[in-house]
Structure 1
C-alpha cells in the first residue's frame, strides 16, 4: 500500500483471483466489481450450475469462466481447484491466489496488506483477515454469521473460504479436497501445517459478506451442512498426523442433541418431570455460554441460544454423513440459500 492509502498496483498485479458461486445475482456483480478495482492480474469465475445471469455478468466484467461438469458432485473445494488450475495456466508467473466466495466483496487495500505480510513472512502459506457481514442487523441469522467470523488475530489453525494463498505450497499439497461438503479450508490448513507451513489472520478487513439469511430453515440447513462437514473432515483426518479435526464438535452434537434427549425420553416414561430437568440443563448451558460473551448484551443471549440449538441440525448432518458413508456414496454440496 502506498503512503496515501491507495493500492500498490505493482504489488497486487502478482495476485490472481478465483471466485466461486451459484445464482448469486447482484452479489456476484458487486464481488467482481470490487476485484476489478483492486487491479489484480486475472480473475477466474467458477460457476456451479447457475440458472441466473451469473456467467454472462462475469464474462462482461472480463473474468475467465469455468463451468463445472454437471455429471460430478459440486463441492466448493472442487470449484476452487478447477479455478486455480485455469488461473495458473493463464498466468504462470503469479505467486499468490486470492479465493473469494461470490457473495463477498473484497475490502479496499486488502490484497496489498496481505501480500506485503506474506512477502515478509516466508513460512506463512495462507493469510486471511476479517470477513464482515454487510447487513448484520437485517436478521438474527446474519448477526450470528458476523459473530462466527470474528476469530482471533495471529497464528491460526485454519482460514475460511476467503483467503490469500501462496501458489507453491498450495500446489505441493494438491489444493483443496474436492469431495468434502464443508470444512475443506480447515482440512487444507491441517495438511499445510503438517507440512511445516503456518496460517495467519491479520487484524484487517478482508471481505464483506452478504449472507441474505432471513429464515430459520436457511440457518437450519447451514447447521446440517456444518454437521455433515464435521463428520466428513473428521473421517478424512483421523488417520493422518496429529489430532483429527472436529472431534469435539461431533461429541457435543451427539451428547446435547442425541444422548441427553434419548435418556430423558426413557426416564420420562416413568416421570414426566425429567423433561423439565432437561430444559433446565439446556437453560444452564445457554446461560454459561452467554456469560462468556457478555451476559448484559442481548446479542450474547441470542448467540448462546442458537449455539445450543445448532447441535440439533449438526447432529442431523452427522447422521447424514454416517448414512451416506455406510452406503458408499458421495454427496454433492448441501445448499442453504
Structure 2
C-alpha cells in the first residue's frame, strides 16, 4: 500500500497517557500533529520528543474538541498531504494493527469515507463509571451513521466537507459524519480492536457531566441537522426530554398539586429498565441508561436556553 497516513492527536495534561498514545502510532504513520489545549504538565515536551508537530491552541478563545481537531487537521494538511488521517484522543492508545487494517479497508472500498473499530476502556473494572463507558462502546460492526473521536478518514473527503465545525461544542464527530454521508460517503465500523481509552473516571459527578454533555450534543445535532430527511439526533433528544424531564415533572407536579397517586407515574422508570433488560441490555447498563436520561435532559435544556438567550456555548468537560 502506497497511501500516506497522518495523525491528529488532541489533548490536555495527558502525561503518560499521551506518551503511550504517540508511541502506539509511530511505526504506522508518516506525520503526527499534536494539538494541545493549555497543558500545564510536560505534554508539550512529550509530544516534541516523540517527533510530533506541536500546535498550541490560542486559549484566549473558547476551547472545544471540534476546534482542536479542525486546527490539527489544517496544520497536517499544510505539509505533505496524507491520503488518510487518523484522529485520536490523547488519552487513547492505538492498538497494534489497527492503522494498516483500517487503511487497507479504505483502499478496498472507495465509497467509504471513514472507519472506526472497537474502542475499549483500559481499566473497565476499576470503577462502575469506567465499566459503563466500556459497555457503551460495545456496538455491532457494519455500516453506521457516525464514528466517535477515534477514526481513520479520507483526508480529501474531510477537506471537501469543511472538516469539523468549530462552533459545535459536543457531538462534533457525528455532525461531521452527517456531512460526509450527505456528500455520498459511507461510514463503517470494523470488527477490529482500535484503541484503549483511559477515562480515569472515579466519581458520580464525572459520569453526570459526561452524560449531560451527551444531551447537549443531541440538542446541537437537532439544531443543525434535525430537519427531514436526516433528523439527526431527534429521537435521542426527545427520549431524554420525555424520560428525564417530562415524566419526573409530571409525577412531582401531579403528586403535589393533584393527588399522591400521581407519583405512581415514576413506575415507568423501573418498567423501562426491565424492558431494556428483556431487550438484551445488561442490568447495570439498563439502570444507568434510564437514570442517565436526567442529565441528558439537563444538557438538552441547557443548550436550548443558551440559544434562546443568545449566550455563548461552552464545552462540558468531565475531567
* TM-based fold match above 0.5: yes
- Rounded to whole Å, the distance in 2 between the matches of 1:293 and 1:214 is 27
After TM superposition, the structure 1 = structure 2 runs for residues 119-198 of structure 1, keeping only pairs within 5 Å, are: 119-198=107-186
Deviation beyond 4 Å, 4+ runs, structure 1: none
Aligned CA RMSD, in angstroms, stands at: 1.4
Q: Give 5+ residue unaligned stretches, structure 1.
A: 1-9, 295-299
After TM superposition, the structure 1 = structure 2 runs for residues 128-277 of structure 1, keeping only pairs within 5 Å, are: 128-239=116-227, 242-269=229-256, 270-275=258-263, 277=264
Match in the other structure for 1:318: 300
1:164 offset after TM fit, Å?
0.4
Please give the secondary structure, in 2, of the residue aligned with 1:43: strand
- Rounded to whole Å, the distance in 2 between the matches of 1:305 and 1:219 is 14
Matched, 1:18 2:5: no
Match in the other structure for 2:290: 308
1:148 offset after TM fit, Å?
1.1
- Rounded to whole Å, the distance in 2 between the matches of 1:238 and 1:52 is 40
Match in the other structure for 1:3: none
- Rounded to whole Å, the distance in 2 between the matches of 1:302 and 1:190 is 31
Please give the secondary structure, in 1, of the residue aligned with 2:25: helix
Q: Give 5+ residue unaligned stretches, structure 2.
A: none
- Rounded to whole Å, the distance in 2 between the matches of 1:195 and 1:39 is 29
- Rounded to whole Å, the distance in 2 between the matches of 1:62 and 1:123 is 33
TM-score, normalising length: structure 1: 0.91
- Rounded to whole Å, the distance in 2 between the matches of 1:169 and 1:266 is 51
Match in the other structure for 2:277: 290
Determine which of 64, 83, 86 is the counterpart of 2:75: 86
- Rounded to whole Å, the distance in 2 between the matches of 1:53 and 1:231 is 36
- Rounded to whole Å, the distance in 1 between the matches of 2:74 and 2:50 is 20
Match in the other structure for 2:60: 71
Please give the secondary structure, in 2, of the residue aligned with 1:161: coil
- Is the 2:22–2:47 Cα contact (8 Å) retained in structure 1? yes
- Is the 2:91–2:197 Cα contact (8 Å) retained in structure 1? yes
- Is the 2:247–2:266 Cα contact (8 Å) retained in structure 1? no
Measured against aligned partners, the alpha-carbon deviations of 1:62-101 in whole angstroms (never above 9, x if no partner) come to 1111111112211111111111111121222x10000000
After TM superposition, the structure 1 = structure 2 runs for residues 34-49 of structure 1, keeping only pairs within 5 Å, are: 34-36=24-26, 38-49=27-38
- The count of residues paired between Structure 1 and Structure 2 equals 318
1:163 offset after TM fit, Å?
0.3
Please give the secondary structure, in 2, of the residue aligned with 1:90: coil
TM-score, normalising length: structure 2: 0.96
